[in-house]
Amino acid sequence: MMRPMNRDITRILTAIDEGDPNAAGDLLPLVYDELRRLASSRMNHEKPGHTLQPTALVHEAFLRLVGGNDSQHWDGRGHFFAAAAEAMRRILIENARSKKRTKRGGDLVRRELNNDVASVDSHDVDELLTLDEALNKLGGEDPALAKLVELRYFTGLTIEETAEILGVSARTTKRNWAYARAWLQREMNHP
């Protein structure tokens, strides 16, 4: 059974699809707290004093999702939050690439991906870019696994939240998360 707020989000996403110019303004208050929580979770892995703050990450992701000239078609709340995870990933990767251009290198330090949320610190620019490259490769082989990693790593969703968005069981999500972590670890350690 769909919760009332989920129905509201789905209704507003449909209005955005249909070109309602006011719909994006109606959507932000409904999704802001959840997007902010996801961004804060992701930013907890950032180095203190990082120039990109959770609020800025949320606003930039939201603008990319509903503020652009490209028409987006949303298939409900799950699709929207999956797209938000992808937008946050892209913003963080763009930020890392910009830092790398400024910094011109650095020493790569390998770290394990843990059972809860990936523990690769995104303040290690090279490592974040290595993760992105591996994730792109995984996406070419199994887009569903890549989406799962985006949801877990870039937004910090729990297994249960990820399962709900992906429309699969928590058990399947947990099993796929373990496989994806192992696959990415192998790929990142042996490029």
Measured CA to CA in angstroms, residue 60 lies from 69, 89, 109, 122, 130 at distances of 15, 11, 29, 18, 23
Write the DSSP string, 128-140.
HHHHHHHHHHHHH
Q: What does the pLDDT look like over 157-189, one tens digit per residue?
A: 889 988 988 899 999 999 999 999 989 888 888
Residues 6+ apart with CB under 8 A from 177: 148, 149, 152, 159, 162
**Phi and psi, residue 98, nearest 5°:** -65, -45
76-121, pLDDT tens digit by residue? 778 888 888 888 888 888 887 777 765 544 444 444 555 444 444 4
Classify burial at 73, counting beta carbons within 10 Å of its beta carbon; exposed 0-12, middle 13-18, buried 19 or more. exposed
pLDDT, tens digit, 9 for 90 and up, residues 117-156: 444 444 467 777 888 889 999 999 999 999 999 888 877 7
Band the pLDDT of 4: cuts 50, 70, 90.
low
Predicted local distance difference test score (pLDDT) of residue 148: 92
What per-residue confidence (pLDDT) applies to 177? 93
- Max distance between CA atoms of the chain, in angstroms, equals 52
String of DSSP letters for 57-125 = HHHHHHHHHHSSSS-----SHHHHHHHHHHHHHHHHHHHHHHHHHHHT----------SSS----TTSH
191 pLDDT above the threshold of 80: no
Model pTM score: 0.58
